[in-house]
Structure formats: C-alpha cells, structure tokens
A and B are shown apart, each in its own frame.
Chain A
Amino acid sequence: MNKHTHENIRIVKRKGVGVTTLMSSTYILSPWNAHTECVLEVYTELLMRGAGKYSRAQFQDALGLLGSAIGISESDGRFTITVSALDENIPKTLSLLKTLLRKPSFSIKEFKNTKQYLNNQLDILKEDARYLAEQQFTKLVYDKRDPRYRNDITVLQKELRNVSLNEIKKLHNLIMENNSWVHTIGGHGTAIEAVKKFVIKEYGKYIASETPYISKAKSKAIALTHIPSKANIEFSLGYQTEVSFESKDYPALLFGLSVLGIPGGFSGRLMSTVREKEGLTYSIYLFADMIDKFEPITIRTYTFFAPKDTKKGLLSTLAQVDTIVKKGITEDELKRFKSILHTRNSLTNDALTKLMAKVHSHLCSNISEDEYALFEQAIQKLSVNDVNDALNEHLDSAKFSIAGAGPIKMVEKDIKALQ
C-alpha cells in the first residue's frame, strides 16, 4: 500500500468574497461491499439529523439563522463535509460543526426515517438511465471490493434493511478517530485562520492514510438495462488502464485522451465528429477518472443516442478511438491542446469555489502542489511522438466495456454484436 506523504491542509486565499468555506474529506477504507455501501449511505444522511441539544429541525434553524450551510456527501468511498459561512458568522458556525462531530444524536426515530427516505430515493433511481449506465459500468470495470463499485439497487434495498444503528455509531467513531482527514479552506483574513485553528484542534494530528483499494483490470463486457419510458439510451464506455498519475506516460496519455474527448466545450474529436459532423448525439465526452495518484486511471466515455442512431453512434465512437491510436494526433492538435489545457487551468482563478474544488480534488488524490506544477510543465513539453506512443501503448477500443440504459430492447442485438 502507498501512503499520503504531504500536508493535509491547503488554504486558498481570495479577498472580498465575505464567505469562508471548509472542505474536509476522508476515505472509508473498510472492506467494501453492498452492506458497507448502505451503512455509509445511511450515515451520510443521518449525521445531519440532530446533534447535542438540537433536534434535526433545531439544528437546521440554528444554521439557517446564521445563513450557514453544512453539506455532507459520499462518493466512491470518499466522505466529505463542506461548511460555508459568512465571515462574520464563522465562530458560531464552527461551534455548531463541533457539536455535530462530537455529539451527533443518531436517534432511533431519525434512523428509521433515514432508511425509509433512502429506500424511496433508490426507487426513484430505478428509472434514472444515466445513473444506471454509470452504475453498471462500475460493475463491469471494478472489483466488488473497490469503493467505486456500485451495487444494484435491489441489492442495496435488501441490505438497507440490515443496517443497524450500532453500525452507524461505530462508523462515526471510526471516522472521527481516523487521522487521515484532508482539508481545503477558502476565503480571506481572520476567518480562515479561525477555521485552520479549528481543524487542527478538532480533527487531530494528521497521519498519512493508505490509498484506497485498487481493482485488477477486467476483460471487456456489456451490460444493458431496459427502461421503456426513456427516449434516449445513456452509455458509459471504457476500461481501467494501467497508467496512474505516477506513471511516466501519464501526461502524454492524458493529453491524447483530451484530444479525443476533453470534457466541456466542443474541442475534442468525439464532439466534432460524432456530434457536429454526424449529428448522432447532443453530448459526448471522455473522462480519465482517478481517485488517487497511485491508482490506474479509468477511461470512461459518456454519451447517449436515440435507439435508431445507437449502432451507428457506438461504431463511430469506437472508430474515433481506433483512428487516434492508428494515426495519432497532429502537430496542430498538439499546439492547440497545450493552449486549451493551459487556459482551462487559468480559468479556475475566476471564482474561489472553482479554485477550491480543484485544489481539494488534488489534495484528496494525494497530489502535492509541486507535483501538479511538474505535471503542467510536462504537458507543455510533450511532443507529438510522446503522445502518439502513449496512445498506442495504452488506448485500445477492443478493451472498451459498454454499459447502456434506456429503451434498449429494439437495439439489444446490435449492441451485443459489438462484443
């Protein structure tokens, strides 16, 4: 197992906003399975439902009167608490946060309500085609023990019944006792100093954490979910590579993947061909998912097609992958995408919240500021050959697993023929 090796608090200063934000995250490293997924879901929802002398409603009122917000979320095993407050209300908000962390109520009534609420939310997700395509994709790509593996809704609903209040309390103690929290503080002046002091005192001395579980690469597969009420079929396509942020080929591969399908805008080849020239979809992007710098990135293409365009759309998408592997990128693309990646990075300076999201994401992925600066320099030094060699070595359309959800039945055969 690799370990985090750098600091655990980063500060993003910005004058004149008048709002201070604290993002705190930790990984839940207990063995991942449907039951622990449910325990974490219940805990994430239940934590805000009362603390100390406050009932759930009273706690919300106390926060509300300050204009403050506390958000609790969980994603891929990463548990995050986000606090946002007017500068002048930071001390009172931190006091409420302390109560929440130290004296959560975990009442039986709220525990039961939470389970009912989550069960209802899972019912709603049964027709969420985008969610289902992504959820099925995680099953095709990751091991069951990987925190990115998302279990089927029916399995979760069954396991939800078995979650006990004791498990929630145990998990809370585990989370509060673990010293691997990382924090990003954004704002200005005395408010951020107060938050920093609070973090050091309340979250304890930082001890480097281990990296999350890493799945072994799986072979290509297809998973389809039929939802008759939808008009489009949502897709997630891709596979887990062997390249991590630490690999020498990472900058070159990431650059090549950006040329293929950079998220946002219209620059990537997938957007300019599958959407613009061929008119087969409204949106098609490629993501290089990573939750830790030691972990191999997962290539994931997100798109959707009308049933009549599905076969053509999938073939066109995979053909674009083949073309960039066989023919490589051009000198013009090298020049343009160096500029594009540089600009994208500069634009995060526009808003504190954007900058914080970037900084916190690097912190959670165990990437130091120096390492990120070196990565940016490496991007600007790449040659066409560097990028094409990396694409040739690590990108392969034959490895693409396909998860689709929507009105599948009429095109099921066509999609399965792609295996």
Chain B
Amino acid sequence: MPSNGLTILHEERKGTNVITSHIVYKVGARDENRGETGIAHMLEHMLFKPTKFDIKRKTDSGSMKFERDTGIILNATTWKDRTHYFFSYPKEYFERPLQTAAEQMYGVVLNDKEFQPERTNVLSEYDMHAGDPEFALSVDMVSTAFQSHPYGHETIGYREDIENYTVDKLQRFYDKYYATNNATLIIIGDIGERLMKKYVEKHFASLKPSKTFEPRIEITEPIQEGKREISITRDSSQLLLAIGVKHDGFPSPSWYKTAVLFEILAGGEDSIFHKKLVDTGKISSVDEMIEPMFDRNLGILFFKLNKTQNHEKTFEQAIKLIHGLDEKDINPYLKKLIPKMKRQERLSREGSLKFSYALVEYVAASAWEEIFNVETKLKELTSKDIVQHAKLLFSDNNMTVGKYHGTQK
C-alpha cells in the first residue's frame, strides 16, 4: 500500500468458503533489550485486550468478541524475528478481522488492570515450558552460544524479566513496532481480488506509518574459540545430551543444507541416529530442532539417554557418526528427500490456514517468494555438499553442548 508501506499478499481459493488472514509484524525476541526479554511475546497477549475503539463502543475486546460471537479460529504467535496474529473464518465474516487487525495496530490500550492478570497467564505459560528438560537446555545453550547477538535468549524470556515488565515498557515497544510500515497482511482463501482490495483499503489506507520505527541493525556474533558447554542438574529421572551448532539464516542455501542434514541425522525412524543409536538401544530417542530464523542461529540435536549410557559416551558416538559420514551414506536420503518434500508441500498448501502459516516465516525473512523455490533448492543439493557441511557445522569452534543430569536413580 503506497500510502503507508503496508505489504499485502493475497491468493484466491474458490469454493472452500473459508478465508485465513494474518498480520505479520517484523518484531520479536531479537528486538528486546536485556532486562526486558520476552516483552514482544507479552505484547502479543495484550493485543487481545480491549482497544480504544472497543472502549468507545463499550464492547469487549474486538478480537475476543469476534471469536466469542462466531467461533472463528484466532490466535497469535511470537518468535525471534516476528509476531503474527491470525484469523481463520467463513467468508461471510471477511470484513471483521480486517477491522479488528487495523484497530489492534493503532488502538491497543495498555494499563495495569488488563496487564496484571495477563502477566500471570504468561508466567503460567513460562512454567509450562520451564519444566521441560529440552527447553531448559536450549535456554542455557543459546545464551552460551550467542554472546552479542540477541538470539541469545528464548522468545518467552526469563521469568525474572517477565516479573519486572511495566506498562510503560510495553507501550514503547508497541509504539515503535506496530505500524503499517513494519507489517504484512496475508489473505488466503475464498475471496476475489476486487473485494479483497475494497475492504483492505477501507480499513488500512488511512493508517499512518510509524515515524519512530527504525530498520534493525546488523549484528555479527564474535568468533567462537573452542567447544562451549553447559549443564543442568535437577531432581529428575531423565538424562539428556544436546549438541547445538550455529548455522546460517533462513532461507539461504546453507540453511537448507543444515535442515537436510538434521533430517538425515535425526528426522524420524529412518534417520541415521535412529538406526544406529535408538534401534540398538544405546539411547532412548533422538530429536532435532532447526528454526527458520533470519540470522545465524543455533540448531540443536537432543538425545534422551537410557540408564546404561552417559553423556560423554553418547557425544563421542554421535560425533564419530557425523564425522564418518560419506557420500554413500547421504545418497539414499537425498533420493528420498525430493518425493517426500513434494508430498509434504502439496499437503501444506491445501488448506488456507496451513499454507498461510508456512508463508509467515518467509515473510519474516523478507523473502515470501522463496516459498515457491523450495523444491529447486533441494534438488541443487549434492551428497558432497552435505558431507562437507556436516564436518564444518560439527567442529569444536561451532558447537555448544548441553547436559541435563537427573539426580534420581
């Protein structure tokens, strides 16, 4: 939208009677300062509170009222690079989510009456994650892996910071980042271009861009010298090993190399670690986590150990397997990858909610067109690339290792 910088993406899907619309703001955990970690996520919660428009109309929060009146699907998520809000609804409601999204963008009222109970909900959400060994490890691992880059804390933030937020802090964050010139509107579903434009213009064209919004500065993480390690000890029966590696940002060709390598190593029962370590009873399970973040980030492999294993031995076995990979090991996986991705792609595009949800990460990386190039990028990968990449990623100067020790016998 030339008048205010709002980006609009639209795809018509005739005959489903369903539309999904998202609004994506390029603001997330990476935009937070020390002492206010998790504030982007806290603000996400506050956008569902009554806006000044709702107060004037003497109604409940517009978004919540919409959901409570009609049963549409509504939710929001925050991640390191972005925050997004979405509605999925029968097409007869098309105008209402647009009006709600526009009012949320400029009319949120932040006060203690609404904020205090919501903060306790966020603390409840934090505790839900904190009891999880993988989450506990990843919190400590990213803070060790990143010394300068703001990817060094998890999106939900630290409990101590959540307890110290103020309404003023939230307001500054909101004023800076929630504006048309930092937002993308995605509309996928049973709505034609003419009608879509008519209602989008009605609700967004008069909105002014933010004057305080500034593009992000580039941050380069200092060079790592040697393997980094953290450990957590809890009154627990579980033993976990986590191996984290820094990898290039999404959606670079190198990101896809890492994603494919992680899939080959730990992506399900067919993966190398599953066959060599889980099936042989050496460990209980293996899992992988690679996030589609714009800058270099930490991808993590999680190994749940059984009582006969220890962290050091599992680490040695895993690294030996990775460094011992050759092209013969990788070839069969690459052959299977394309048809597998093809099926997953087709399935991921068949519903408006699923497809638009996937598109959000590409929008966050300022590269929405790339969603249509995934197959081409994967076809370009060779076994040689993957073998070399594995050795590079899993070198001492790129690794952060986490150990979770349960003290129960």
Contact = CB atoms under 8 A, between A and B. Distances in A.
A306 B117 CA distance: 14
A339 B89 CA distance: 12
A342 interface: yes
Given A60-B270, A341-B71, A350 B353 contact: yes
A91 interface: no
B358 interface: no
Interface stretch (B274-282, B315-323, B360-368, B386-394): B274-282
Contact of B236 (A228, A232, A341): A228
A13 to B, nearest CB: 12
Given A117-B281, A120-B284, 4 more contacts: A19-B343, A67-B343, A279-B118, A347-B72
B10 to A, nearest CB: 16
B336 A61 contact: yes
A279 B71 contact: no
Residue among A67, A129, A306, A349 having the largest count of chain B Cβ atoms under 10 Å: A67
B221 to A, nearest CB: 30
A322 B123 CA distance: 28
B148 interface: no
Interface in A44-92: 48, 57, 60-61, 64-69, 84-86, 89
Given A121-B285, A229-B406, A347 B88 contact: yes
Interface stretch (A23-31, A174-182, A263-271, A369-377): A263-271
Contacts of B225: none
Contacts of A354: 351
Interface string B47-62: 0100000000000000
B380 interface: no
Interface string B252-294: 0000000000000000011000010011110111000000000
B306 interface: yes
Interface in A211-248: 228-232
Interface stretch (B126-134, B177-185, B204-212): B126-134
B351 A350 contact: yes
B144 to A, nearest CB: 21
A351 B67 contact: no
Contact of A267 (B67, B236, B280): B67
B117 A123 contact: no
A304 interface: yes
Nearest to B189: A350
A84 B284 CA distance: 28
Interface string B68-90: 11111110000000000000111
Interface of B: 16-18, 20, 48, 64, 67-74, 88-90, 116-125, 127-128, 130-131, 133, 189, 234-238, 269-270, 275, 278-281, 283-285, 304, 306-307, 332, 335-336, 338-343, 346-347, 350-354, 406
Residue among B48, B131, B304, B346 having the largest count of chain A Cβ atoms under 10 Å: B131
A126 interface: yes
Can you list the 6 inter-chain pairs with the closest CB atoms, starting with the nearest? A67-B339, A351-B351, A340-B71, A64-B336, A279-B120, A279-B117
Contacts of A126: 237
A18 B124 CA distance: 42
Given A282-B121, A350-B353, A57 B275 contact: yes
A343 B342 contact: no
B89 A347 contact: yes
A285 to B, nearest CB: 14
Contact of A67 (B73, B122, B278, B338): B338
B339 A65 contact: yes
Interface of A: 14, 16-19, 48, 57, 60-61, 64-69, 84-86, 89, 113, 116-117, 120-121, 123-124, 126-127, 129, 228-232, 264-267, 272, 275-282, 304-306, 309, 336-337, 339-344, 346-347, 349-354, 406
A19 B351 contact: no
Nearest to B404: A229
Contacts of B18: 346-347, 349-350
Contacts of B120: 279-280
23 contacts: A60-B269, A64-B270, A64-B336, A65-B339, A86-B346, A120-B281, A120-B304, A123-B307, A228-B236, A230-B131, A232-B127, A265-B74, A266-B64, A266-B67, A280-B124, A282-B124, A306-B127, A336-B69, A342-B71, A347-B89, A350-B20, A350-B352, A354-B351
B347 A17 contact: yes
A277 B275 contact: no
Contacts of A89: 339
Contacts of B70: 339-340, 343
B342 A86 contact: yes
A307 to B, nearest CB: 10
A267 B63 CA distance: 11
A66 B339 contact: yes
Residue among B117, B352, B406 having the largest count of chain A Cβ atoms under 10 Å: B117
Residue among A48, A86, A120, A304 having the largest count of chain B Cβ atoms under 10 Å: A120
Contacts of A265: 67, 71, 73-74
Residue among A86, A116, A231, A280 having the largest count of chain B Cβ atoms under 10 Å: A231
Contacts of B67: 265-267
A350 B90 CA distance: 9
B17 A277 contact: no
A129 B128 CA distance: 10
Contacts of B68: 266-267, 272, 336, 340
A95 B279 CA distance: 26
Contacts of B306: 120, 123
Contacts of B340: 64, 67, 69
Contacts of A347: 18, 72-73, 88-90
B336 A232 contact: no
Nearest to B71: A340
Given A126-B237, A266-B64, A266-B67, A67 B332 contact: no
Residue among B119, B238, B406 having the largest count of chain A Cβ atoms under 10 Å: B238
B125 A231 contact: no
Contacts of A232: 124, 127-128, 131
A120 B307 CA distance: 9
A238 B4 CA distance: 52
A86 B343 contact: yes
Contact of B281 (A61, A113, A336): A113
B212 to A, nearest CB: 31
Residue among A67, A229, A275, A342 having the largest count of chain B Cβ atoms under 10 Å: A229
